[in-house]
Amino acid sequence: MQHKCASIAALCTRSLPFMIALTAVPPAHAGGLLLWEIGTPTLGTASAGWAAMPEDAATAFTNPAGTVWRDTTEVRVAGQALYGDVGFTNGGETNVPGNDGGNPVKWFPGGGAHAAGVFSDRLGWGLAMTGNFGLGLDYNDDWAGRRFVQESDLIGMSLIPSLSWKINDCLSIGAGVNIMGAFFEYVSAPRAGVIPGDAHLKYEDIDVGYGGNAGIIYRPVESTTFGISYTSKVDLTFKDNLRLSGFGPIFEPAVARFNGTRTEIDMTVPATVTASLQQKLTPATTLYANLGWQDWSEFAGMRLALDHPDQVSVFIDQGYKDTGHFALGVRHAFSQGFLQGWNLSTGIAYDNSMQNDSNLTANLVTGRAYRFGLGAGKMLCPGVTMDIGYTMLWSGDIDIDQQGRPPFSPRLEGSYKDTSLQFLGGSVQFEF
């Protein structure tokens, strides 16, 4: 019996790096990890017009080519709150006892600041500080999927200084440097040993990665604006001493070989391309549209390396695929009546899923995303404009059947029912 337990312990130890690599991937929302919601007026159009709003100071983030399209300096300060409904329902085949995990998203704050101005008629500048990459999941400690994840957070914040050049009265280009700081944390409860208790695994680190943003604004006539924005990939490398505990007397000697081991996890924030339209239908009504692409197949590959005498290095292809995006919105300004001075907006959007159901894991709950947005804005006084907005992201039911490695082969089978995220935000733009 002792020899059998020792063999199981050795097998678990050899499997440990693979378990970490297979499960230590960051959390996501439906459609991917790159949120369209940053608290700015595009909340009200469900992101439509993202890269074709040069009059908004947030163009410093969404399309750096737009910063030169102004005569004064403008600053927009934005904030938003996210609430998720991502509850798991056991389908009956889960083989680890526990509860449904509760709602792992709950409330999550966000926001940022954006500034845009000009050095001359032809040269503009921009500065943006905001985050739209990542999210967090925090399940109950004793939930049925704790073998795979209890808590997982990936939060990216970007600082983007940029310059823009107006080539002529119709066309401008811009480029900026994306300095992204990212925090990554992963916690799970592997099986402690032959007796099915809970052990503890934790990993966390902060890294800074670098990329580039570029864009084009084309306005052939005053009523029509086309915008194209590109964001490059950002490579992130997290390094932390792996923390393992609670594995019991049989497993502890073997697991102790990896406890405290310097562990490196490489991941890539994907490149994106977004093409947008802003079209004035009448002096009061404006149409917005987006087409977008995100390179999630680049994010699919993740490398994990342990600085250990065994020099364990694992590369996992998580099978993600590139995603497409479409959005359509409208904004109407009221010049009389009860709503005089206000503009109201609405929009719809769709993002396809970055993964198939067969690849779904409990710390990457993602699927197709339908968005519906509502917004309102008003000039409070000359040089000060306020906007508020709401977006609902709906993914419906997302099925999961995640299985772990031998010898214990944990399984989480069921569905995330009626999955949705709610975004409520507002911003104020000042003109100097």
pLDDT at position 354, please? 84
Residues 6+ apart with CB under 8 A from 252: none
pLDDT in tens, 377-426: 999 999 999 999 999 999 999 999 988 888 788 999 999 999 999 999 99
pLDDT at position 308, please? 63
Are 377 and 339 a contacting pair, CB within 8 Å?
no
pLDDT in tens, 209-256: 999 999 999 999 999 999 999 999 999 999 998 888 888 777 777 777
Q: pTM of this prediction?
A: 0.90
Beta bridge partners of 18: none
The residue assigned the tokens 């996501």 is 28
Q: In what order do the strands lie in the sheet with 234-241?
A: 234-241, 262-269, 301-307, 313-317
Structure tokens at 179: 């300095």
pLDDT at position 129, please? 97
CATH class of domain segment(s) 2-431:
mainly beta
Half-sphere exposure of 153 (CA within 13 A, CB side): 15
Which value, to the nearest 10 degrees, does the dihedral of the CA atoms of residues 347, 380, 129, 420 take?
Answer: -30
Are 30 and 421 a contacting pair, CB within 8 Å?
yes
The residue assigned the tokens 């949705």 is 420
The residue assigned the tokens 């005089």 is 340
- Amino acid found at 28: A
Segments of the chain with pLDDT less than 50: 1-2, 4, 21-25, 28-31
pLDDT at position 284, please? 97
The domain locations on the chain are 2-431
In 3D space, the residue among 291, 287, 306, 373 whose CA is nearest the CA of residue 45 turns out to be 373
Within 98-256, residue ranges assigned H as helices are 248-255
In 3D space, the residue among 294, 305, 292, 260 whose CA is nearest the CA of residue 24 turns out to be 305
Residues 6+ apart with CB under 8 A from 298: 233, 268, 270, 271
